[in-house]
Structure 1
Amino acid sequence: EHVHRADEDHALLVNIADHSHSLTHGSAWMSADPKLVEHAIREEEKKAKEMEKKLEGYLVETGIEGQVIITKGDPGPTLIKLADEFNAAYIVTGTRGHGKIRRTILGSVSDYVMHHSHVPVLIYRS
């Protein structure tokens, strides 16, 4: 709401569900129970629907012109692709503040976006 210009901007609020951890939970010596994976995906989809309602409510509450996109995929590349498709002027993304070890091993969506975006990126710590 602090960077949005009501007369010019259209906000695109995006939530990208990454199911890769659910689908790859098993390993060569321990396979994931398909029912557990299905349950995990259903739970993530339920959370995504809740997030969609929350984001739509935010747009209404603040009077910001925009739309909500809920999708699945690898968050970094998917966000870059959406920004390109919608001709975004800039990207605002948060960081969860995961520890250095986790960020080093798994990477960071905000780091990925910062290094691969074709438009300016504003990263805020949540």
Structure 2
Amino acid sequence: MSAADNTQRGGILVAVVAGQPTAVLEQAARLADDLDVALVCANVDPNRYLVSSYVDGTVVALPYDPDLPEVEDERFDPDLEAHVRAVLEPIGVRYSLEQLAGDPSWALARLAEEVDARYIVVGTREAGIRGSIREFFNGSIAVHLAHRQHRPVIVVPLAPVAGEGQLPWEEPPV
């Protein structure tokens, strides 16, 4: 389905990533079901930048790395699509898939505008040193979204730390 499809208008936009815990998708689906609106599942390839997008949902992107193939139509990852289908079909919520390219917060904000999304749902960053390094260089997608567009951003916690526990990126208490 393309971003121009009227069944997506006014729905919930959720960012989906390969290997992401199902909690993000399940919470977004619950919200879409409660509001009786469609769910738009968007995956963003941050290693490519958007060249053009078409009304039919086709996205043409170029790689940042010059050693990668030149122009490629972005296609939704079949394994991720199968995972989304397995999670959402038992819930019975209407959904569509969108493949995007470029900066994740910018791409999600642009799609949210195109489909007039009510909410944008994202997960917290992955725990551990790799997630901390990625967030240090790229920043938090949720924070970027919260400051760069007008829709509410719902952040689903993926690895909450209980009580006074130390967050993975914090310095140990002295």
- Both proteins in one fold, TM over 0.5: yes
Gaps of at least 5 residues in structure 2 are: 1-28, 49-62, 159-174
**Over aligned residues, Cα RMSD in angstroms?**
2.8
Q: Which has the higher helix share?
A: 1
**SS at the partner of 1:61?**
coil
Equivalent residue in structure 2 for 1:93, among 105, 122, 125: 122
**Matching residue's letter, 1:14:** A
What is the CA deviation profile of residues 6-30 of structure 1, one whole-angstrom value per residue up to 9, with x for unaligned ones?
562111111111115xx556xxxxx
Q: How far 1:46 sits from its partner (Å)?
A: 8.6
Equivalent residue in structure 2 for 1:49, among 78, 85, 103: 78
**SS at the partner of 1:3?**
helix
Q: How far 1:84 sits from its partner (Å)?
A: 0.7
Residue 111 of structure 2: aligned partner:
82
When structure 1 is superposed on structure 2, of 72-81 and 109-118 the one drifting more is 109-118
Given the superposition, is the C-alpha separation of residues 55 and 86 from structure 1 closer, same or farther in structure 2, using an over 3 Å criterion? same
Gaps of at least 5 residues in structure 1 are: 26-31
Given the superposition, is the C-alpha separation of residues 7 and 79 from structure 1 closer, same or farther in structure 2, using an over 3 Å criterion? closer
The answer to whether 1:2 aligns with 2:30 is yes
Equivalent residue in structure 2 for 1:64, among 85, 93, 101: 93
The answer to whether 1:103 aligns with 2:97 is no
Structure 1 stretches of 4+ with a deviation exceeding 6 A read: none
Q: Distance in 1 between matches of 2:39 and 2:94?
A: 6
Equivalent residue in structure 2 for 1:114, among 108, 132, 146: 146
TM-score between both structures, scaled by the size of structure 1: 0.70
**SS at the partner of 1:64?**
coil
